[in-house]
């Protein structure tokens, strides 16, 4: 019987739920799959170690790995091939090892889109304020514009990163209005919805990226973080009465899409969502 060896490469990811999601679904399907964590914090590693990491992953017989913060963009120069979505987004969260080549894919955008449509099917996409312009942010913005967002305002403390993402997205979606906001307040002002894509709020990056006083109850609020299950900002948005989308559904649906790339088999996405812990 075929078996699979997969994993997750990132920084500060020791509490990731990815191993449990993949291994549990594989068990439910009756297939042998092992999913390992490769956390560069464990040896004070960084982006300079990516070539060695992926060299040894391939040598050790990994079928594929997920890639998370802060390596979703840094990994691209090491890859032989990119899927259309990963190329358009400029970020990779799944790498497949096959026939001596490394191919990069992006399941963040499809996972976010599926979760958003399921959770807030009637949400207004007239104007969206987005915080963050990193790898996950690029995928989320791509998803929202693919779903029909007409205006997107993006703020990041790294202004060059925000500028580059805005330029990329405007070229991909010429009928939409994509702007660089000068502050979080600027991004959120007048927005029908707000999406928080920065790592601020994760267990490894505590805090909030902006004060919750900037949110209004008329806005929907979405974020991509899933550990902790509820960040301080998500909790405050709920208490304000904002319709909310947590990062759990995105985490599950992107994992399901990655599982399919790893194995060539179709997982039960709703079962994975029900069993998420």
Tokens 């010429």 appear where? Answer: 174
CATH 3.40.50.720 residue ranges of the chain are 124-242
The yes or no reply on domain 4-107+250-274 and CATH 3.30.390.50 is no
What pLDDT is stored for residue 202 in this prediction?
83
Q: Which residues are annotated as a binding site for shikimate?
A: 16-18, 68, 93, 108, 226, 254
Which residues of the chain form CATH 3.40.50.10860?
Answer: 4-107+250-274
Give mean pLDDT, residues 174-200. Answer: 97
Give residue 90's pLDDT: 93
Of 72, 117, 232, 240, which one is the catalytic site residue?
72
Q: Is 98 a catalytic residue?
A: no
The reported pLDDT for the residue numbered 12 is: 87
Residues 127-166 have pLDDT tens digits of 999 999 988 899 999 999 999 999 999 999 999 999 999 9
**pLDDT at 274 (0 to 100):** 95
- pLDDT given at position 177: 98
Query: CATH assignment of 124-242?
Result: 3.40.50.720
pLDDT digits (tens, 9 = 90+) for 189-202: 999 999 999 989 98
What distance in Å separates the CA atoms of residue 111 and residue 249, rounded to the nearest whole number?
A: 8
- Feature table: binding site: 16-18, 68, 84, 93, 108, 132-136, 224, 226, 247, 254
More confident residue, 130 or 205: 130
Look at residue 228 and give its three-state secondary structure: coil
Residue 1, burial from CB neighbour count under 10 angstroms (0-12, 13-18, 19+): exposed
Q: Give the contacts of 102 (CB within 8 A, at least 6 positions apart).
A: 54, 58, 78, 79, 80, 81, 95, 96
Supply the pLDDT for residue 121.
Answer: 96
For residues 85 and 7, what is the distance between their CA atoms, to the nearest angstrom? Answer: 21
Report the distance separating Cα 260 and Cα 146, nearest Å. 22
What value does the mean pLDDT of the chain take?
96
């Amino acid at each position: 019987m075929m078996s699979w060896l997969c994993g997750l490469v990132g920084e500060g990811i020791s509490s990731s739920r990815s191993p449990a999601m993949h291994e549990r679904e594989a068990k439910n399907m009756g297939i042998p799959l092992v999913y390992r964590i490769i956390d560069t914090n464990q040896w004070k590693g960084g982006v300079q170690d990516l070539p060695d990491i992926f060299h040894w992953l391939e040598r050790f017989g990994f079928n594929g790995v997920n890639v998370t913060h802060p390596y979703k963009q840094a990994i691209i120069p090491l890859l032989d091939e990119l899927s259309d979505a990963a190329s358009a987004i400029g970020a990779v969260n799944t790498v497949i090892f096959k026939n001596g080549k490394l191919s990069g894919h992006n399941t963040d955008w499809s996972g976010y889109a599926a979760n958003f449509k399921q959770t807030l099917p009637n949400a207004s996409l007239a104007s969206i304020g987005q915080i963050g312009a990193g790898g996950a942010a690029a995928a989320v913005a791509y998803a929202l514009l693919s779903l029909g967002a007409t205006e997107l305002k993006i703020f990041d403390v790294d202004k060059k990163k925000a500028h580059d993402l805005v330029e990329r997205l405007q070229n991909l979606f010429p009928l939409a209005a994509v702007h660089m906001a000068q502050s979080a307040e600027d991004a959120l002002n007048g927005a029908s919805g707000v999406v928080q894509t920065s790592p601020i709020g994760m267990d490894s990056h505590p805090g909030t990226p902006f004060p919750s006083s900037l949110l209004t109850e008329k806005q929907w609020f979405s974020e991509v973080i899933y550990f902790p299950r509820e960040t301080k900002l998500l909790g405050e948005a709920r208490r304000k009465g904002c319709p909310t989308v947590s990062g759990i559904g995105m985490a599950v649906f992107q994992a399901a899409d990655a599982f399919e790339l790893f194995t060539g088999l179709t997982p039960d996405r709703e079962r994975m969502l029900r069993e998420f812990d």
